[in-house]
Amino acid sequence: MLDYKKLFDLSGKAAVVIGAGSGIGRASAEAIGSLGAQVICADADLDGAEAAAAGIVAAGGRAEAYRINAAEGAEIEALAQHALRSLGKVDIAVSTPALNIRKLIVDYTEEEYDRVMNLNMKGAFNFFRSFGRPMMKQGFGSIVACSSMRAVTIEPGLGVYAASKAGIAQLVKAFAAEMGPYGVRVNAVMPSIIETRLTAPLKERADIFKTYAGHTVLNRWGQPSEVGSAVAFLASDAASYISGSSLSVDGGWTAIDGPPTGLTSTRPSA
């Protein structure tokens, strides 16, 4: 019988996680590190990256911190080259940074549009190129990006952010098709309402926090660890036949049209 535990084991793997300083990125780095991979924790917040790396090391893993501006293509390329020198290869590459400026489209400035797109969309583009090239030469690898449920569902004020996340989902499909012949898999996770630094302002408003929770079939917000676990799965050999997919980690938000109605189930009588 196949040893399924080994499919999830990342021992001997070399991983890079961009955005590892907090939230989903940190949870992804921790999950990947806990499964045995050596991790480079990269983030614009070096203190956060160092804390993430220290946590992995304290748990018996191997990790190092690296400072990066994920909106700069040259810095992403430098990280990829550093990873190759330091680790000798890159089996797993994950990128999670994102920026959202919540405004109606008519109120957006060009500078704000560029800030969102440069980090979210162009950042993903540069991430794919910089880590895809060495993986093509290796003949193996798993790349995981972070899209969002906003790629497929929207509300006023999120148009630009949603467009960037939909773009990432399409890039994932295209890049998966291009990388498949080289043995490289490309996927994304699509989280919904996760308690992170990005969503902290919403949590401060109890009415919105409760309303958003009610849009999920589980009636709650998600935790970064729940997305990090999905990232680790996509990175592992357990997902060896998954490529070009955007995995919903959304508590069922996109499974229904609006919030649940509150109808109760009726059990059949004996």
Mean pLDDT of 69-76: 97
Cβ(33)–Cβ(39) below 8 Å: yes
Residues with a catalytic annotation lie at: 161
pLDDT over threshold 60, residue 123: yes
Tokens of 221: 């917000």
Q: According to DSSP H, which parts of the chain are helical?
A: 4-8, 23-34, 46-58, 73-87, 110-138, 159-179, 200-203, 206-214, 224-235
Mean pLDDT of 28-53: 98
Buried/exposed 234-265: b ≥16 CB within 10 Å, e otherwise: bbbebbeeebbbbbbbbbebbeeeeeeeeeee
Radius of gyration of the chain (CA): 19
pLDDT over threshold 90, residue 267: no
Q: Which residues are registered as beta bridge partners of 93? A: 16, 143
Mean pLDDT of 75-103: 97
Confidence bin at 198 (pLDDT 50/70/90): confident
The DSSP letter of residue 238 is G
pLDDT, residue 266, reads 52
Lowest mean pLDDT among 2-11, 25-34, 255-264: 255-264
Residue 265's SS3 state is coil
pLDDT, residue 207, reads 85
CA distance 183 to 50: 32
The DSSP letter of residue 108 is -
**137-167 confidence digits (pLDDT tens):** 999 999 999 999 999 999 999 999 999 999 9
Confidence bin at 262 (pLDDT 50/70/90): low
Residues 6+ apart with CB under 8 A from 124: 95, 145, 167, 168, 171
The DSSP letter of residue 180 is G
CA distance 194 to 248: 12
pLDDT, residue 200, reads 74
Tell me the range of 201-205, 206-210, 233-237 where mean pLDDT is highest: 233-237
Confidence bin at 208 (pLDDT 50/70/90): confident
CA distance 90 to 83: 7
For domain 11-251, the CATH class is alpha beta
Nearest to 67 by CA among 90, 91, 42, 86: 42
In this prediction, what percent of the chain has a pLDDT beyond 70? 96
Query: Across the chain, what does the average pLDDT equal?
Result: 94
pLDDT over threshold 90, residue 259: no
pLDDT, residue 104, reads 97
For the question of whether the overall pTM of this predicted structure is more than 0.85, the answer is yes
pLDDT higher for 205 or 166? 166
pLDDT, residue 246, reads 98
